[in-house]
Amino acid sequence: ARKQAAPEMPEHATAEVKNIIAIASGKGGVGKSTVTANLAVMLASAGYRVGILDSDIYGPSQPKMFGTEGFVPEVHMRNGKEVMAPAENYGVKVMSIGYFIKPEDALVWRGPMATNALRQLIHQTEWGKLDWLLVDLPPGTGDVHLTILKELKVDGAVIITTPQQVSVADALRAVGMFGGKGIEIPVIGIVENMAWFTPQELPCNRYYIFGSGGGRALAEKVNVDFLGEIPIMMSVMQGGEEGRPDSLVSGFSEPYYREIMEKIVK
Ligand code: ADP
């Protein structure tokens, strides 16, 4: 009997993904996941098909940021291969290491266990057709990063830093990770998060709580684009807590994320 032409599952989970962008930071807590979530919803509202691969084994925050905690990826067979469908909210497909581990266990995930779980996410997630896949990397530079960057065909990297010197110094190391140890991934640019704070009572004042200009100076130093800055905003923090990225609702944060998104797209 002749074989029936069935819709084929592409060999690689990301075969139908046009652009894979890694979002990295040197230090933790600088807002890498928040920026990733907001850029994703901005891309989705611009009409792109978007996914997030949350590979931050030390603190996977995308399940909370997208209100998809408790999602259990179901394994099913496709063309003899085990695959898992991602969660979806606000038009963004989300797959996270957080769907597989309890947050309190995240810190004990080391070495082979984490690497194996990440491999599964990388190779078995059923993304389908996407224009953009944003990869929320763990902070820092290490073996886990090398695994991800070697097994995923990453097209470019965006580095998040605060203006503070300790963050900028670590961001410089993150830049280095994309061009070394057998990895050649272009850095698209630098984003400076938590750039300043403006109190409601003094709308014309900018307080540079973590210093100023660190992100732009780093971009100049390593000769990549400066993609933009995002101030400290309570609504941005709250959006993360409430499981709805702030740029979807707030007229305050949206323009900052939009500017960055437009630079990445072009
Ligand atoms: P990372 O992924 O780098 O560890 P997160 O995105 O989890 O950092 O952000 C760390 C904390 O800072 C979170 O509580 C988040 O809500 C908050 N945060 C991030 N960016 C901003 C911002 N621009 N304004 C206010 N809070 C922010």
Q: Which domain holds residue 195?
A: 17-265
* Mean pLDDT value of segment 195-211: 94
pLDDT of residue 7: 52
Average pLDDT, the chain: 92
For the stretch 71-111, pLDDT in tens is 999 999 988 889 999 999 999 999 999 998 776 666 666 66
Report the 10 Å Cβ neighbour count for 129.
10
Q: Is the pLDDT of residue 159 over 80?
A: yes
Sign of the torsion angle spanned by Cα atoms 114, 26, 32, 43:
negative
In a domain, 1, yes or no: no
User: How many C-beta neighbours within 10 Å does residue 166 have?
Assistant: 14
| pLDDT tops 70 at residue 184 | yes
Residue with CA nearest ligand 1 atom 26: 237
What is the biggest distance separating any 2 CA atoms in the chain, rounded to whole angstroms?
A: 77
237 CA to centre of ligand 1 in angstroms = 6
Distance 165 CA to ligand 1 centre (A): 17
Beta bridge mates, 135: 22, 53
**ipTM attached to this prediction:** 0.99
Question: Tens digit of pLDDT for each residue in 117-140?
Answer: 889 999 999 999 999 999 999 999
Burial environment of residue 25 by CB neighbours within 10 A (0 to 12, 13 to 18, 19 or more): buried
The answer to whether residue 5 is domain-embedded is: no
In a domain, 54, yes or no: yes
Ligand 1 cavity residues, CB under 6 Å: 25, 28-34, 61, 139, 193-194, 230, 232-233, 236-237, 240
DSSP label at 207? B
Distance 221 CA to ligand 1 centre (A): 25
pLDDT at position 91? 98
Residue 115 covered by a domain = yes
Atom of ligand 1 minimally distant from the CA of 59: 4
What phi and psi, each to the nearest 5 degrees, are found at residue 74? -95, 130
**Lookup result for tokens 């792109």:** 48
Of the candidates 195, 152, 173, 188, the one whose C-alpha atom is nearest the C-alpha of residue 23 is: 188
- The pLDDT of residue 109 is 66
The domain spanning residue 31 has which CATH number?
A: 3.40.50.300
Domain count, the chain: 1
Q: Is residue 10 part of a domain?
A: no
Q: Is 203 within the bounds of a domain?
A: yes
CB neighbours (10 Å) of residue 80? 6
- Scanning the structure block, which residue is given the tokens 């409601």? 200
Distance 243 CA to ligand 1 centre (A): 13
